[in-house]
Amino acid sequence: MSDVTVRSGSRKPRPPRPVVPVSGAARGWGGSGFFTQLGGMGQLAGQAISRGLRPPFSYGGEFAAQVSFIVRICWMPLIVTSFALSFGPAGVQASGFLGLLGALDRLGTLYVLIVLRVFAPLVTAIVLAGVAGTAICADLGAREVREETDALRVLGVDPIKSLVVPRLFALMLLSVVFDIWALLAGMAGATLVVIQHHQPLAPFFSTFISNATPLELGASFAKSAIYGAVIAVVCCYKGIKASGGAEGVGRAVNQSVVIAFLLIGAIDYVFSQLLLATHPVLSEVR
């Protein structure tokens, strides 16, 4: 009789999985891989818009949940960042320069450019990409590596319509809403700058209102909506294409933020140049 007894249910330890090196193209940083992913993002955007506008509209509950979630995690960073940028690097330097000339009443003219054209949409895009975009990418990436999206396809549920569409529409809607909040927070920072210099508020708001136009406000909303759509498409694409477990999800989140920031800068330049080229009145001193 053998002295060695084998317990029932005992298992041999599994050998460690081999580590497969990931190439630069697979990570999305190769030249051809980058443009291939841009094409995939464009295709995903077209599919999401076409399927989202086609009945049945079964994504209402998920859309409401995403709106509530994004508002909860983004409203505080958005307001604080908008107020800080309006009061600090913009307001302090501009007021110091105009104070030397004795023309602090013209501060409202500068804030049309500072807040309305530049900071409000830009802060909205940065906060949405850095806070909401990373959360969306991580959520979809975790679903993908756990094969939940494959399970949805087996059940006959379209993952694009049930997961991508509500996040795309939520970010597009909230980007415009957040742009309004950023404008209000920026004007609060400008008001504090005027009060700090012991100047009356009436000349500041008079010059701001007389120089601001509905065209600039509409352009600010349009730019923010474009930002929201691009951020949603990039983060959703990187999330549903994630692979390689937790490491792959983290890599996808990192790539989504970098790509989103690069596209934000490119869109800001192209949109601003097109706006000024097609509407020369915005370049005139009023």
pLDDT band at 14 (very low <50, low <70, confident <90, very high): low
**Cα of 202 vs its chain's centroid, Å:** 35
Encode pLDDT of 242-262 as tens digits.
Answer: 988 889 999 999 999 999 999
| DSSP letters spanning the chain | --S--PPTT--PPPPPPPPPPPPHHHHT-SHHHHHHHHHHHHHHHHHHHHHHTSSP-TTHHHHHHHHHHHHHHHHHHHHHHHHHHIIIIIIIHHHHHHHHHT-GGGHHHHHIIIIIIIIHHHHHHHHIIIIIIHHHHHHHHHHHHTTHHHHHHHTT--HIIIIIHHHHHHHHHHHHHHHHHHHHHHHHHHHHHHHHTT--HHHHHHHHHHH--HHHHHHHHHHHHHHHHHHHHHHHHHHHT--SHHHHHHHHHHHHHHHHHHHHHHHHHHHHHHHHHH-GGGGS--
User: What is the predicted pLDDT for the residue at 285?
Assistant: 67
pLDDT band at 17 (very low <50, low <70, confident <90, very high): very low
The answer to whether residue 278 sits within a structural domain is: no
> Is the pLDDT at 30 greater than 80, yes or no?
no
Contacts of residue 273, Cβ cutoff 8 Å, sequence gap at least 6: none
As for how many domains the chain has, the answer is 1
The answer to whether residue 230 sits within a structural domain is: yes
CA–CA–CA angle 248, 67, 153 (5° rounding) = 50
User: What is the predicted pLDDT for the residue at 127?
Assistant: 96
The answer to whether residue 36 sits within a structural domain is: no
User: What is the predicted pLDDT for the residue at 13?
Assistant: 54
The answer to whether residue 250 sits within a structural domain is: yes
Which range has the top average pLDDT, 107-116, 176-185, 272-281? 176-185
User: What is the predicted pLDDT for the residue at 70?
Assistant: 96
- Mean pLDDT for 12-22 is 47
> Is the pLDDT at 209 greater than 50, yes or no?
yes
> Is the pLDDT at 7 greater than 70, yes or no?
no
User: What is the predicted pLDDT for the residue at 88?
Assistant: 81
CA dihedral 153, 154, 156, 160 (to 10 degrees): -10
Range of the domain at 213: 60-273
The answer to whether residue 190 sits within a structural domain is: yes
CB hemisphere CA count around 273 (13 angstroms): 6
The answer to whether residue 28 sits within a structural domain is: no
- Mean pLDDT for 138-162 is 90
Contacts of residue 51, Cβ cutoff 8 Å, sequence gap at least 6: 158, 160, 161, 165
